[in-house]
Amino acid sequence: MSHPTTYDATQATFDALVLEPQGELVVVDFWGEGCPNCEVYAAAEPALLAELEGARMRVVKVNAYQDEELARRFGLFGIPTFLLFRDGKLLGKMSQYYGRDYWLGVIREHLPPSA
Known catalytic residues are 35, 38
Note the maximum CA span of the chain: 40
Distance (Å, rounded) from C-alpha 48 to C-alpha 29?
13
Residues 6+ apart with CB under 8 A from 6: 45, 49, 58, 59, 60, 61
DSSP state of 13: T
Distance (Å, rounded) from C-alpha 50 to C-alpha 38?
19
